Amino acid sequence: MRALYDVPAPAKLNLFLHITGRRPDGYHLLQSAFMLIDWHDTLHFERRDNGQLSREDLGEQKLPADDLVLRAARALQQESGTALGAHIQIEKRIPAEAGMGGGSSDAASCLLALNRLWRLGLPLARLERIGLALGADVPFFLRGRNAWVEGIGEQITPLALPAARFAVVKPPAGLATKGIFGHPGLKRDSDTAIISGFAANPFGFGTNVLEPVARELCPDVGRALEWLGSQGLHGRMTGSGSAVFALLQPGETVAEAPEAWRVRVCGNLDVHPLVGWAPSDDSSVGG
C-alpha cells in the first residue's frame, strides 16, 4: 500500500526530573528538561476516503490494539468532523516502557501528519488540546523544540541546548509509569528549580527523583546504571524508566551491549523534523 506520508517520531530524554507537588486531582506537578534525540519510529500514512482508520505494525514490536496512534487519529476526526480516514503503518524502533516518550511522539506525529493529509489546517493550539487529552508528553512533541517543562506537562518553554552525544541503554525489563507515580516512597517535594541554574550545567543539572523508586521496582535500572559506571560514565534514568543514559565526551564510545540489552549512541536534535507542520495562528484554520 503506497504511503502518502512517511514521517519520523523521535524519542526524548529527560535531562532531569523533579516533582514539586501534587494537585488536588492527583496529578503530579513536575519540572523537567525534555531533549529530542535521533532515535525514532517511522509512521507511514495513506488517506482513505471512507472514514475508516486502521493500523499495521511493520516491526517485531507489536502495539496494543487501541494504541495512542489510533486514539490520536480518532480524536482528530472527531475534533475536525472530517469524513476522511487513513491506513497507518508503524515501524516501531523506540523501546516501550523506557521513559523515552515513544508512544506520545507517535501520537504527535500522527496528529501533525493527518492534519496535513486531510487538509484540515488546524492550528497548533487545537492539536495541543487534543494531544494533552491523550498524554502529558504529547504537546511537547507537537511543539517540536527542546524545552523546559512544568505543570503536568502543559507549560512548555523552548530551550537551546548545545550539540552532544549520549549513550542510551534500555535493559530488558520495562516499567509502568502508573506504578512509579503511585508508589508511597516517591519524593514529591523537590525544591523549585530555575532555568538559569539549569542553563549553567544542562547535562549535569538536578536529578531524576523517580530513579530510587524505579530501581526498587526494576533492578535492571540499577544494573544498567552500574554498567555505565563501569565505563566511567555518570548515568541517570530518563522519565519513568527503564532506559538510562549518559553524556559522552567527544570521541568517547561505549562497550558492546550485554545480551538482550539495547545500547545506542544518540545525538540530540535542535528541532523536531516536523516542526512548523501545523499553523501557529488560529486565523489559519481551514475548512
Binding positions for ATP are 95-105
Report the DSSP pairing between strands 53-57 and 28-48: unpaired
Are 231 and 241 within 8 A, CB to CB?
Answer: no
Residues belonging to the binding site are 95-105
137 is catalytic: yes
Spatial neighbors of 39 by CB under 8 A, at least 6 apart, are 10, 11, 93, 94, 100, 168, 264, 266
User: Out of 41, 106, 137, 220, which one is annotated catalytic?
Assistant: 137
**Rounded to an integer, what distance in angstroms lies between the CA atom of residue 93 and that of residue 42?**
8
User: Out of 12, 41, 67, 170, which one is annotated catalytic?
Assistant: 12
Report the DSSP pairing between strands 53-57 and 5-22: unpaired
Which three three-digit cell numbers place residue 207?
Answer: 536529578
HSE-CB of 184 using CA atoms within 13 angstroms:
0
| Residues recognised as catalytic | 12, 137
